[in-house]
Amino acid sequence: MVAPSMDVLVALCKRRGFIYPSSSVYGGLAGMYDYGPLGVELKNNLKNAWWQSMVHDRDDVDGLDSCIMMDQTVLKYSGHESTFTDPLVDCRECKMRMRADFIENNQCIGCKSTNLTEARDFNLMFSTSIGPIASSENKAYLRPETAQGIFMNFKNVLDSQSRKLPFGIAQIGKAFRNEITPRNFIFRVREFEQMELEFFVSPGDDESWHQYWIDTRYQWWQDQGLSPKRLTKAEQTADDLAHYAKRTVDLLYTFPHGPDEIEGIANRTDYDLGSHTKEQDQLNIQAKVSENQHATQRLAIKNLETNAWQVPYVIEPSCGVDRGLLAILSEAYEEEELENGSTRIVLKLKPHLAPIKVAVIPIAKNNEQILNMTQKILKILKAHIPGKILLENTGNIGKAYRRHDEIGTPFCVTIDFDTISAEDATHPGTLTIRDRDSMTQTRVSIADLVPTLIKMNTLPQDCPA
Ligand code: ATP
């Protein structure tokens, strides 16, 4: 299967209402995208699948939703103020700015000149100020990762939920990075969403838990439809490792622009909780706070046997929703040659991710009896199938099938004259279920509609009914 080009995906996303450039009425903002009616459904389905597997299906993880704006001291002591930078160079000829590690042969990406400035560090965090008067005292940042909000709430969750090691805190939310060169559609953007788990373990148990999460996350992406042929694990070299990491394995997906990171799984050691705890110690010493009060501020756990404070190690699987969505769209996109010589575009999305679960199509758009029956079927489906059920009343079934193939709707249900002409229990009204992938059409009675869809929708391919 050949992967689609990025241009093909961008065009499909705009045409069908998945993703649009942001602020486009006034020319657009580089590195920002808005999600349209289908994009938001797909995104929510992906986030729900992650939340289900990380929080609801587990007994050792709690969820969190922390603020996007963060106090500058948090990001000072996390190391982000000093080290969350990319190397920036300017082209003296065309004035283009670019990341030094993205250029080849010391040539400008735009005009190919080699007349470039020396690389200098550029901090990726967006800053703002809280309150009416901007000053260095009330400076705040839009968080560059959701993780710091989790570390700030470590103690709150530990105490309120009576947790013991190992346990995790999961969060989905927006993150912001002032990328020097946003590119490759929604792959590298300035405003994006992350799905992050911080899993706290005893030092010494960190390596085996790290391996566990690498394998678990690799499998999860396959469960979302990504083929293992395009998904690889890549060990970061010592030069690549972030300032906090002991070991990091990236999951790379072969995007239309080539293999690139979809998720990083890092062993952050006790770096974050340790730095915040050290800072708390300093502040408490300066303020002459007693040992009792002092201890409550530490982002640590008391070892009941030794009575010593222990800072847990942290394993962090961190992925981008937008990159995940791009990978899923890229993997699902297919162009099929049909027997009549035409080409069918189809998004073979896993049903749990599909923006629309079922499209209901009446055969005649102005027939009152058919429309009444359509409303009845819609009501039945909405009561039993979670997710978006859509009425497609265009009167052109062929066109509706093509549209729903292109947006990945797994099933279309067609209401026709046999649906309304039920005579008795032995000749009940029937309707057609059309399967997106095989294009087969199955006639079922109205009573069998929901059980048939549930069976088709949820059972894995190789699972006997
Ligand atoms: P890269 O090296 O590609 O800049 P990173 O290693 O800095 O990424 P992390 O800090 O590990 O990324 O962030 C975790 C995840 O957040 C990434 O795997 C990615 O899916 C997502 N992510 C990071 N930066 C961006 C961005 N600018 N646009 C979209 N997603 C991003």
Write the pLDDT tens digit of every residue in 65-74. 999 999 999 9
Q: Is residue 201 part of a domain?
A: yes
pLDDT recorded at residue 51:
98
Final residue belonging to a domain, choices 291, 312, 328: 328
How far apart CA 363 and CA 432 sit, in angstroms, is: 11
pLDDT recorded at residue 464:
44
Q: Is residue 249 part of a domain?
A: yes
Our answer on whether the CB atom of 173 is closer than 6 Å to any ligand 1 atom is no
Pairing type for strands 388-391 and 120-123 reads: unpaired
For 311-331, write each residue's pLDDT tens digit.
999 999 999 999 999 999 999
Pick from 187-191, 271-275, 321-325: least confident: 271-275
pLDDT recorded at residue 305:
82
Is it the case that residue 419 has pLDDT exceeding 70?
Answer: yes
Q: What is the pTM for the complete model shown?
A: 0.93
pLDDT recorded at residue 283:
60
Our answer on whether the CB atom of 262 is closer than 6 Å to any ligand 1 atom is yes
pLDDT recorded at residue 456:
86
pLDDT recorded at residue 296:
46
pLDDT recorded at residue 324:
98
| pLDDT grade for 353, boundaries at 50, 70 and 90 | very high
pLDDT recorded at residue 414:
96
* Closest C-alpha to 189, from 11, 35, 296: 35
CA 173 to chain centre: 9
Is it the case that residue 299 has pLDDT exceeding 80?
Answer: yes
Crossing angle (nearest 10°) for helices 37-51 and 321-332: 110
Atom 22 of ligand 1: nearest residue by CA position = 320
Q: In whole angstroms, how far apart are CA 262 and each of 5, 90, 91, 213, 343? A: 18, 28, 30, 15, 31
pLDDT recorded at residue 1:
63
pLDDT recorded at residue 458:
58
For 77-128, write each residue's pLDDT tens digit.
888 999 899 999 999 999 999 999 889 999 999 899 999 999 999 999 999 9
For 198-252, write each residue's pLDDT tens digit.
999 999 999 999 999 999 999 999 999 999 999 999 999 999 898 789 999 999 9
Is it the case that residue 286 has pLDDT exceeding 90?
Answer: no
Give distance in angstroms: CA of 262 to centre of ligand 1.
Answer: 7
Q: Is residue 121 part of a domain?
A: no
Q: What are phi and psi of 463, to 5 degrees?
A: -95, 120
Pick from 3-7, 195-199, 273-277: least confident: 273-277
Crossing angle (nearest 10°) for helices 6-16 and 397-407: 130
Is it the case that residue 460 has pLDDT exceeding 80?
Answer: no
* Closest C-alpha to 38, from 432, 332, 259, 254: 332
For residues 208 and 278, membership in a common domain is answered with yes
Is it the case that residue 129 has pLDDT exceeding 50?
Answer: yes
Q: What is the mean pLDDT of residues 338-347?
A: 94
pLDDT recorded at residue 342:
92
Q: Is residue 74 part of a domain?
A: no
Strands (E), 54-111: 61-64, 69-71, 85-90, 97-99
Is it the case that residue 297 has pLDDT exceeding 90?
Answer: no
For residues 436 and 399, membership in a common domain is answered with yes
**Which of the pair, 181 or 50, is modelled with greater confidence?**
50
Q: pLDDT exceeding 70 applies to what percent of the chain?
A: 93
Give distance in angstroms: CA of 23 to centre of ligand 1.
Answer: 23
Is it the case that residue 43 has pLDDT exceeding 70?
Answer: yes
Give distance in angstroms: CA of 320 to centre of ligand 1.
Answer: 6
| Residue 165 token pair | 């090691």
For residues 194 and 282, membership in a common domain is answered with yes
Residue 414, domain CATH: 3.40.50.800
For residues 318 and 377, membership in a common domain is answered with no
Q: Is residue 14 part of a domain?
A: no
pLDDT recorded at residue 294:
46
Q: Is residue 133 part of a domain?
A: no
Strands (E), 127-166: 127-129, 139-142
Atom 4 of ligand 1: nearest residue by CA position = 188
Our answer on whether the CB atom of 416 is closer than 6 Å to any ligand 1 atom is no
For residues 191 and 302, membership in a common domain is answered with yes
Which atom belonging to ligand 1 lies closest to the Cα atom of 190?
Answer: 27
Q: What are phi and psi of 391, to 5 degrees?
A: -85, 125
The CA R_g of the chain, rounded to the nearest whole Å, is 26
Q: Is residue 122 part of a domain?
A: no
Q: In whole angstroms, how far apart are CA 254 and each of 220, 251, 283? A: 16, 10, 47
Which atom belonging to ligand 1 lies closest to the Cα atom of 250?
Answer: 18
For residues 358 and 323, membership in a common domain is answered with no
**Which of the pair, 424 or 443, is modelled with greater confidence?**
443
pLDDT recorded at residue 290:
56
For residues 322 and 360, membership in a common domain is answered with no
For residues 359 and 268, membership in a common domain is answered with no
449-458: Cβ within 8 A, 24+ apart:
449/377, 449/380, 449/381, 449/413, 450/380, 450/381, 450/384, 450/385, 453/358, 453/381, 453/385, 453/411, 454/384, 454/385, 456/410, 456/411, 457/351, 457/357, 457/385, 457/410, 457/411, 458/351
For residues 262 and 320, membership in a common domain is answered with yes
Is it the case that residue 461 has pLDDT exceeding 60?
Answer: no
For 384-403, write each residue's pLDDT tens digit.
999 999 999 988 999 999 99
pLDDT recorded at residue 285:
58
For 437-452, write each residue's pLDDT tens digit.
999 999 999 999 999 9
**Which of the pair, 425 or 96, is modelled with greater confidence?**
96
Our answer on whether the CB atom of 319 is closer than 6 Å to any ligand 1 atom is yes
For residues 367 and 267, membership in a common domain is answered with no
| pLDDT grade for 462, boundaries at 50, 70 and 90 | very low
Q: Average pLDDT, whole number, for the chain?
A: 91
pLDDT recorded at residue 295:
42
For residues 295 and 375, membership in a common domain is answered with no
Q: Identify whether the C-beta of residue 389 lies closer than 8 Å to the C-beta of residue 358.
A: yes
List helix spans (H) across 62-110: 72-77, 80-83
pLDDT recorded at residue 465:
40
Q: Is residue 340 part of a domain?
A: no
Final residue belonging to a domain, choices 276, 311, 328: 328
pLDDT recorded at residue 2:
72
Q: Identify whether the C-beta of residue 146 lies closer than 8 Å to the C-beta of residue 194.
A: yes
For residues 370 and 254, membership in a common domain is answered with no
User: Domain range for residue 426?
Assistant: 354-455
Is it the case that residue 3 has pLDDT exceeding 90?
Answer: no
Residue 241, domain CATH: 3.30.930.10
For 367-382, write each residue's pLDDT tens digit.
999 999 999 999 999 9
How far apart CA 184 and CA 187 sit, in angstroms, is: 5
Q: What is the mean pLDDT of residues 185-197?
A: 98
Give distance in angstroms: CA of 2 to centre of ligand 1.
Answer: 26
Which residues have a Cβ under 8 Å from the Cβ of 399 and sit 6 or more positions away?
none
Q: Considering its fold, how many domains does the chain have in total?
A: 2
